[in-house]
Amino acid sequence: MKKKAVINNTSVCQVRMQAISDTMSILSGKWKFHILGTLIEGNKLGFMDLLREIDGIGTKMLSKELQDLEMNHLVSRTVMNTKPITVEYAITEYGATLSPLIRELAKWGIDYRQSVHGSKGV
């Protein structure tokens, strides 16, 4: 008698799995959450602002990740006609729908630190 997978064979679970893959592929990489988080905090930031805010990121990654996020309509890019050209990056209305997710992410990380340092060993 062959045992069959029964727990996640329902279409509900298939959809759930797919949904998690979708979200993670859009938000993949080391910097997406940091960029989004920063833009949610401080609306409208220039390229150099972001470079300064996000500790450790380089121009290549920042540029590439911003393009990804723009392509997915999570971030808007506006070229201003200022003296030395500046660009304003901002979170879009759609991008702002990620706020609860990012809040959960940060919340869990903070609780994690506390559970590790507060009591030793969780």
Partner DNA sequence: AAGGTTAGTTTCCTATTGGAAAGTACTTTC
Partner DNA sequence: GAAAGTACTTTCCAATAGGAAACTAACCTT
**Residues at the interface with DNA (CB under 7 A):** 2-3, 28-31, 46-49, 56-61, 63-64, 66-67, 77, 83-87
Applying CB under 8 A, does 96 fall inside the site for its own copies?
Answer: no
Please report, as a single letter, which amino acid is at residue 100: P
Task: Closer to its own copies by CB, 87 or 105: give it.
Answer: 105
Would you say 78 or 116 has its CB closer to its own copies? Answer: 116
CB of 78 or CB of 110, closer to its own copies:
110
| Residue type at position 28 | S
Single-letter amino acid, residue 53: E
| Least Å from the CB of residue 75 to DNA | 11
- 61 binds its own copies, rule: CB under 8 A: no
d(CA 32, CA 88) in angstroms, rounded, equals 17
- Number of other residues whose CB lies within 10 A of the CB of residue 52: 11
Chain residues in the site for its own copies (CB under 8 A): 4-8, 13, 15-24, 26, 30, 33-34, 37-38, 41-42, 45, 49, 52-55, 73, 94, 97-98, 100-102, 104-113, 115, 121-122
